Structure 1
């Protein structure tokens, strides 16, 4: 039996480093919510152009995720994470200094490519270094980092909006333009700090040992496994296990999808990835301030409410991280998605009733917080865990790219279409649509996806290959 306690803290350290990519993902995704009004006004954007401003980064994410798996399989998980850190840095600096709307779009797309890459490679890396007993919790660190990134973006937006009124910098300077005159530039540009930190700290971690085995670098793999599992004997044992399992499915390429035992989890991963985006969470994160303003709040109050949403998101994700390996992935989904359906229906009724009755905005905040609680403890906590562990080792990068492409395609469509939904169906109809989309997701998890808690990656691989 392999002992993991002796190197538990080292494994957690590696997971935390990879999870910084999640923070950048969350910040880049959520920071847009505080800039929409100012950018729309400054560049005179209509609803379609506004949707393009929000959705263009997601288009970059689709591009990034499309190549991330292949790059990770060919060059390694670590190098792709380093590339994503470079893209985040270029995007943040470029957005802060962009002179035109088209230039802003280009830099947002570059940042989106970084998001797409890191959304695949960071959880993949964590799953490949984590022992099965705590893999769910460690991969959930990535989701926790995303929520902290959300909260960090909301707080940064709120603080910079207040800071802009203090006029700390001299007029007609670059800093005055970024932090006072056009504060949205500061909101987008502050991502530079964590992006550079991510780049530097990545230089301290090793490559994924499972990737090293698959690419016939067994000596290096033994060295890494030995650090993870406290002894040379344990390292050699883990290398042997991975080699025996990977030998069953041949070389990683698209032809492997002809194998029913591989094609089925890939298709199911695509389904839960894209459906999860149509259940409303990203619409709340992107357009939360705008939706709150529609309920009668001022811009500052709307951003404060969004900070509350972000705080609940973080605290609930911490709870999910603690219980995901004990309760299991599927039970969390059953509980959480049921609560999401109820919350979304009540939010829809709130907006429908507010057209007739003067309902207090505090009711809307409570319903939004309930929705975020149920989302964070279920689909948000589970999705990256499942996608990082449900595929065979040799095809994990390619399969996660396919699932990630579906996830970001759904996210892009939601970001692009939400302004149109709100304009044509109103908030009430929009949130009712999100509620309906929860039902097929529940069915797939119930009938098609196995419970993966407590199983090694090789055991999960055997499940699909034997089920064919």
Structure 2
């Protein structure tokens, strides 16, 4: 009964932290339903280019980069939980500001360059919240979770991201359903952005009911608090003392000065490249521009919104597969299978686009692509990022990896409109090629991490070594 109680406790606090992922998904995907209305109101009325449109759709990603970079500072100085509280506050401000960017300084229905800047400012504020949450929430869950279920619990974070995207697809569809295009372009898009206030407030309130992570507390010499939390997590004080001893040994290790490259460059480079590949395969193009893609392939009006909802439902289902299998099959097999599936999906879309063959086949290949991503690179990338960095450098290394991820996201998302104007076939073919290269990278460079504690995983890396240790080498240390 005690073990069941401890698991319920871990599940509840991991679920609350995962709401940061829900808001991540909600904030980044809400633009999919509103971007065409924003284009009409703030881009077309001002006579601006498709490049400016791409920057506006992707402006939140600038904030994500900033938030990712700041996350290490906030996480190390204010704690994991307080960093998430800051992120929740930023989500709330962004939701209201994006819905009504005219507040105080501008007039409604009088678009100006200043109003465009203010809209992007509020989107960037939300992006900073996303950047902080995207680095801190997986770290929080990874540091709280026992090793046997760590992969599953961190995968909840990605499930929350996808669930947040699915929720906002339904919200956007519900707002637009039965309404005229003119109404959506006039007021409906504002309701889409404002709807984020509800999950932001829920996240903010619930965070006051979760503890700080024991690894952060131990790093600040708050061992009594760390031991108390570890006791509740592990179900016994004896096991808690054993885990705390391993944490303290890791923090006191002479092998690391706490500087970024004190465990060698390979672990940092692998983390950065995982982040970059997760974006260069083009997933957020499919998520941000989903209704527009389906419209370009033959689905008009609400049908494009409905196909987007179908895609979201499939995404949730395949994320569940990753959650159930990540601690059984391991991280590498799921990543490699997912890369192959993504390549098949994107090359299929590229072939259809190049030959101007539209219709349900497009939906079929996009679903293959997104489903493959959701059962692999979506959740597993976050699992690995929460695991591979040693305790002493986790905050700063995670910050750099997440900032690199958002920089790659911004590059891919902002260049999509211009690329698609040149060639749809080549654009989607590029994402397919990146999927192939990502499989090779995982095969050659990424170690398997399942079944080990965070402290044991530090032995996978040796300072100055170009390759990670094999599992045999690690077990002999």
Q: Is the 8 A contact 2:345 2:367 kept in 1?
A: no
Which segment is superposed worse, 14-23 or 437-446? Answer: 437-446
Match of 1:375 among 369, 373, 376: 373
Mapped partners of 1:37, 1:459: distance in 2 = 49
Residue 172 of structure 1: aligned partner: none
Q: Is 1:228 paired with 2:243?
A: no
Deviation at 1:450, TM superposition (A): 0.8
Q: Is the 8 A contact 1:21 1:122 kept in 2?
A: yes
Mapped partners of 1:411, 1:398: distance in 2 = 20
Matched residue SS, 2:265:
helix
Residue 323 of structure 1: aligned partner: 325
Per-residue deviation, residues 371-425 of structure 1 (Å, max 9, x unmatched): 1111111111211000000010111010000100110000010111001110112
The 5 Å alignment of 1:11-410 reads 11-43=10-42, 44=44, 45-99=48-102, 100-162=115-177, 164-165=179-180, 181-249=186-254, 253=258, 255-257=259-261, 259=262, 261-354=263-356, 359-410=357-408
Mapped partners of 1:251, 1:433: distance in 2 = 40
Q: Is the 8 A contact 2:88 2:200 kept in 1?
A: yes
Mapped partners of 2:38, 2:5: distance in 1 = 52
In structure 2, do the counterparts of structure 1 residues 5 and 462 end up closer, same or farther at CA, with 3 Å as the change threshold? farther
Deviation at 1:220, TM superposition (A): 0.6
Q: Is the 8 A contact 1:163 1:180 kept in 2?
A: no
Q: Is the 8 A contact 1:262 1:391 kept in 2?
A: no
Match of 1:456 among 453, 456, 472: 453
Per-residue deviation, residues 32-70 of structure 1 (Å, max 9, x unmatched): 111111111112142111111111100000000101012
Q: Is 1:412 paired with 2:410?
A: yes
User: How many residues end up aligned between the 2 structures?
Assistant: 448
Deviation at 1:232, TM superposition (A): 2.4
Per-residue deviation, residues 319-353 of structure 1 (Å, max 9, x unmatched): 11001110110000111111111111111111122
RMSD of aligned Cα (Å) = 1.8
Deviation at 1:5, TM superposition (A): 4.3
In structure 2, do the counterparts of structure 1 residues 42 and 10 end up closer, same or farther at CA, with 3 Å as the change threshold? same
Q: Is the 8 A contact 1:7 1:229 kept in 2?
A: yes
Mapped partners of 2:66, 2:320: distance in 1 = 31
Deviation at 1:165, TM superposition (A): 4.8
In structure 2, do the counterparts of structure 1 residues 96 and 310 end up closer, same or farther at CA, with 3 Å as the change threshold? same
Mapped partners of 1:5, 1:263: distance in 2 = 40
Mapped partners of 1:27, 1:91: distance in 2 = 12
Runs of 4+ aligned residues of structure 1 deviating over 3 Å after TM superposition are 3-6, 163-167, 249-253, 465-468
Deviation at 1:360, TM superposition (A): 4.8
Q: Is the 8 A contact 1:40 1:46 kept in 2?
A: no
Which segment is superposed worse, 55-64 or 243-252? Answer: 243-252
Matched residue SS, 2:312:
helix
Mapped partners of 1:292, 1:375: distance in 2 = 19
Matched residue SS, 1:420:
helix
Q: Is the 8 A contact 2:96 2:194 kept in 1?
A: yes
Match of 1:437 among 434, 437, 441: 434
Deviation at 1:289, TM superposition (A): 1.1
Q: Is the 8 A contact 2:265 2:464 kept in 1?
A: no
Deviation at 1:166, TM superposition (A): 12
What 5-or-longer segments of structure 1 have no aligned partner? 168-176
